[in-house]
Homo-oligomer: A and B are copies of this chain.
Amino acid sequence: MEIERIPLQKHGDSRGMLVALEQDRNVPFVIRRVYYLFATHDGVHRGRHAHRHLNQLAVAVRGSVTFLLDDGTGPVRVVLDDPAYGLHLGSMVWRELYDFSEDCVLMVLADHVYDPADYITDYAVFLREVRGPVYQEGLAACQSL
C-alpha cells in the first residue's frame, strides 16, 4: 500500500516547537496545495474517496484523527495524534477519516490544486480501477457461471 507514516524532525528549544516540511527534503512531491480541516463536528466521518493521481502528506498539527485506509487489499487503521508525524498517502488509496478530537486541526499538503475529476467517490468504482483488468476478468467469469 502506498502509505507511509513519516517521523518529522522537531526543532525544539526553550521557546517551543517547530516542524518544517520542505519540498525535495522531507516532502516527496511539489507542494501546490495546503488545506486544513478544523471545527469538525462530533461523530463526523470525512473522506470516503480515493484520488487517481494526487499525492498527499497529512499531519494532525493539533488533536487527533483516525484514518481508515484501503488500497483494495483490505483496510488499515492509522491514528494521527502527534504534530511530529506525517502520513504520506499516494494515489489510489481509499480513505475515511473519523474520531476527530474536538480540537483537531488536520493539515494536508498536496501536489496538485483541487480537481474534481481526480476523485473517485464510489467504492465499487475504486475497486474496479485499483484491481485492474485481472479483477474485471475474474468478476466477469464469476458472473457468467
A interface residue numbers (CB < 8 A to B)? 12, 14-25, 27, 31-41, 44, 46, 59, 61-62, 83, 100, 103, 105, 107, 109, 113-114
Alpha-carbon distance A40/B11, docked complex (angstroms): 12
Cβ contacts A to B, 20 pairs, < 8 Å: A14-B44, A15-B44, A15-B46, A16-B37, A16-B39, A16-B44, A18-B37, A19-B35, A20-B114, A21-B34, A22-B34, A23-B31, A23-B32, A23-B113, A31-B31, A34-B107, A36-B83, A38-B62, A61-B61, A105-B105
**A14-B41, A44-B16 known; A36-B61 Cβ under 8 A:** yes
Interface of A is mostly: strand
